[in-house]
């Protein structure tokens, strides 16, 4: 079990890992060894996630989440399969950790009195400037 928060523990058995050929440098090794890891996790049906965390996770995951609610993480940064496997799991943990923290509540604030006064003065000054641009009046 991977512990994220007091009430959130992920079961690694829910992750489906598949190994694919990685692109990039590596010489002949890259053609022979499937070192990249594709981790798939069914977020929509996971019993490990509370509903509130699941709802916050959906926008955080973005394009990594399929329409069926499956999170797909591809890790190919490292040259070894084990390092990529750990990288994929670490990225899932980081994503769930971020989703586990609820957003801070927004407190309504008032516009300060001085700011309102300065805005009125600026409006008056701007209006005066525009009035002076007009045709001069005959006195």
pLDDT, tens digit, 9 for 90 and up, residues 76-97: 888 788 888 899 989 988 888 8
Instruction: Look up tokens 């957003």; give the residue.
Output: 103
Class of domain 2-100: alpha beta
Strands 15-20 and 36-42: antiparallel
pTM equals 0.67
What is the Cα–Cα distance from 63 to 136, expressed in whole angstroms? 63
What is the Cα–Cα distance from 117 to 119, expressed in whole angstroms? 5
pLDDT-derived band at 124, boundaries 50, 70, 90:
very high
Domain boundaries, the chain: 2-100
Residue 32, both tokens: 């022979």
């Amino acid at each position: 079990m991977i512990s994220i928060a007091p009430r959130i523990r992920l079961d690694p058995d829910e992750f489906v890992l598949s190994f694919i050929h990685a692109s990039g440098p590596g010489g002949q090794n890259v053609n022979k060894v499937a070192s990249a890891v594709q981790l798939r996790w069914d977020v929509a049906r996971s019993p490990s996630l509370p509903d509130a965390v699941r709802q916050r996770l959906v926008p955080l995951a973005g394009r990594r989440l399929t329409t069926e609610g499956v999170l797909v993480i591809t890790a190919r940064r490292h040259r070894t399969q084990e390092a990529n496997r750990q990288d994929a799991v670490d990225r899932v943990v980081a994503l769930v950790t971020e989703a586990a923290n609820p957003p801070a509540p927004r407190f309504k604030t008032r516009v300060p009195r001085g700011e309102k006064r300065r805005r009125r003065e600026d409006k008056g000054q701007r209006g005066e400037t525009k009035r002076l641009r007009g045709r001069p009046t005959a006195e």
